[in-house]
Structure 1
């Protein structure tokens, strides 16, 4: 099992090539959560996530013969980029197997880092099994994203950094997929400062570590789509489960809308881009799922490789949830000038119309009527209520489209 000494050796080994990401205090998040919040910004790493720590540590422990044969890895994106970047930098042939559902931003980045990419399977686990088979065929080194002692030790260097950057921490909140990050970090923290609490956060769609702890051994959970694709692991690691059992104090889950809200909070409040997996730790705190108040808490923003199309959808849904985007279906008399009257009511309460759709044949309208779907931007729930009140006082019949 991974030891503190192995993590310290990994820190010395990878130190010259890995960015020591900042640990920054957030007044906004502290106010929102009732704690003193510090963000560990691993999304600022060269490949956009913490994963390159473990990947590089494993690469640097390879023999010359292993380097000549090359490396193979499987990943939904972040581990792939870490392996591809650091292997290519050292002239090592690298092939990455990725599920077909991998976000384009991660697929393109992996190829740009010099890897031969094979798309296979509907999820990480299917791609991983195929990659392991290919590595045996080629006698290449398979670099597992989490179930490898050197990878775990590399990820654990984050724990050493956190304790050095802020010795007063009470709690560290960490995303959990297969368990390599929290296992290594937990070992580094608990062996070096046992009073610090380590909390893990999973997506409720794939709680593979919780299932493993419940059974005392890794078990496969059902696959499901999730914003947190970076921790979408169906089976926790054989090496990581004992580490989590020994070093992790608490394990919680977050829902998809909670992850989306955390992404938007980081973007708007901290000007920080986090992918789904990178935002789950903050999501747990924003939803008060860990039960902490008045504590010094480090929140790991583990990655920032977020597809811009997905980000656009997250922003739009977040605006709807916060009442900043309001959509109504209004029944209008179908004659010239009726639309002008409606827009006049909306303009008086300073809402901004961003989209309209006019329909004469559907939604039960009469022969002399039309249905108008109108989408507006507002300043928030209170302003949206003003808009609804103004329309209620007018002659227009309408309903809110949820």
Structure 2
């Protein structure tokens, strides 16, 4: 039995992991999930692409494997004490499910911004919830504190040999289902899943490559590999919240550094595109982190020009907030480079709008916004569907430039895609000195009140736009009418504690909203 009170037991050898994986009692609760061929995308990328469907587990996530692996090995005395963990969703459900199966009291500490659907899921599985902190790291610190104070057993989300061994049972199934795989793509958050897979694969079939995939805005393993040790990211993005971890685990990093073949990062649009691929090919509705490995695989195939190989990826979960599907559907075409978003200036005169549309030709226009603002020129925002992702975008832009249109490509401009496309046409009535900022607000009733109390007392808000995408935080765009000398302005914003970024010189803002 592995010591349940140690988070990083470096004494366990690789052969010890192999034994632990083979003997893991996870099949008392988990299913052997299908390894399913994705026919459409296999044809598209000239490779055999296989999806390991961990979204089909009882808790719709692979996390049940690691949670049950550790909890089931607790001694009778430890089980009587009860267990506590921290989670933003999937791990908490795995712990609650396992604890109920074994007749153990469980407490799941979750961030206060956790969506109701995830809290309810933990309750349905018999767990008690305690909401604390604005992110996973704060919740995790509180859970450890509660464990010490109440003599509970703390169940870590990823950095423990028993957790790693439980997740490693996926690799055992993969080899049993198809021993001729060339590469396996694995999503990376804290590293428990990828560590479990590589420590098993590299001892039995070391020629199979294992590639870790991270979200660009939470790439803690990539940062650790660059520094040679785990480091804490200053902040992480929350779209793929299942992998939104600031710091890779010590033991998971040790195994990744030793065995991982490669790592790749992807952006949110690519993840959205992969979610669409999963739905269209195998009718799976994945959460963002669940489609992360497929997004990385697609990018890696193009980068390395891979053809004729057998590639597997882990669909790690399907606990998606239904309302976030709106955001996903909006972004997936951009992620697949099947749409471009352009800002174009045309003459403000009779017939010029028609002339412009003629220059576009028979392209499918997905979005078009226009508002009169100047007697000589007009600005429009246009989305165009692309049939040929490789060459068509350049041809469209070149054609507009040849015809003397001023064009700005906004396809990769995050602020344009999140806000500006919904706000075309707003100018101040006179020239004013404005500073524009994008914020991430926690989704709580007091977030806006806190914001207004701190800033509106001193500075006039000249623009405010909020859009909820069904995640645990809201995207806010706001402009302030400031003076040239506002010494306390940055100090005030920093004291809010909200993640923010200045966008005053953003080209989309300057093009459409700035006088």
TM range (shorter): 0.7 to 0.9
> Does 1:62 find its partner at 2:74?
yes
> Does 1:200 find its partner at 2:215?
no
Distance in 1 (alpha carbons) for counterparts of 2:226 and 2:384: 47
**Structure-1-length-normalised TM-score:** 0.81
Distance in 2 (alpha carbons) for counterparts of 1:169 and 1:227: 30
Q: Is the 8 A contact 2:363 2:385 kept in 1?
A: no
- 2:262 is matched with which residue? 251
1:296-355 deviation line (CA, Å, top 9, x unaligned)? 11111111111122221111122456556989999999xxxx9xx99xx9xx97979999
Q: Is the 8 A contact 1:227 1:260 kept in 2?
A: no
> Does 1:6 find its partner at 2:17?
no
- 1:391 is matched with which residue? none
Count of equivalent residues = 391
Alignment of 1:122-141 (within 5 A): 122-141=134-153
Distance change (3 Å), C-alpha of 1:187 and 1:108 = same
1:264-319 deviation line (CA, Å, top 9, x unaligned)? 22223332212221112111121126734322111111111111222211111224
- 1:265 is matched with which residue? 277
**Structure-2-length-normalised TM-score:** 0.65
Q: Secondary structure of 2:250's match? A: coil
What stretches of structure 1 move > 4 A for 4+ residues in a row?
320-333, 348-357, 369-385, 397-402
Q: Secondary structure of 2:133's match? A: coil
- 2:311 is matched with which residue? 297
1:14-46 deviation line (CA, Å, top 9, x unaligned)? 213211100011222223333211110101111
Q: Secondary structure of 2:157's match? A: coil
Distance change (3 Å), C-alpha of 1:162 and 1:400 = same
Q: Is the 8 A contact 1:54 1:155 kept in 2?
A: yes
Distance in 1 (alpha carbons) for counterparts of 2:49 and 2:295: 13
RMSD: 3.7
> Does 1:316 find its partner at 2:327?
no
> Does 1:172 find its partner at 2:184?
yes
Q: Is the 8 A contact 1:323 1:384 kept in 2?
A: no
1:230 positional shift: 0.8
1:353-376 deviation line (CA, Å, top 9, x unaligned)? 99989x67x5xx56xx99998989
Distance in 2 (alpha carbons) for counterparts of 1:377 and 1:216: 43
Distance in 2 (alpha carbons) for counterparts of 1:72 and 1:160: 29
Stretches of structure 2 that go unaligned for 5 or more consecutive residues are: 1-11, 398-404, 411-515
Distance in 2 (alpha carbons) for counterparts of 1:261 and 1:308: 17
Stretches of structure 1 that go unaligned for 5 or more consecutive residues are: 389-396
- 1:111 is matched with which residue? 123
2:28 to 4, 13, 16: 16
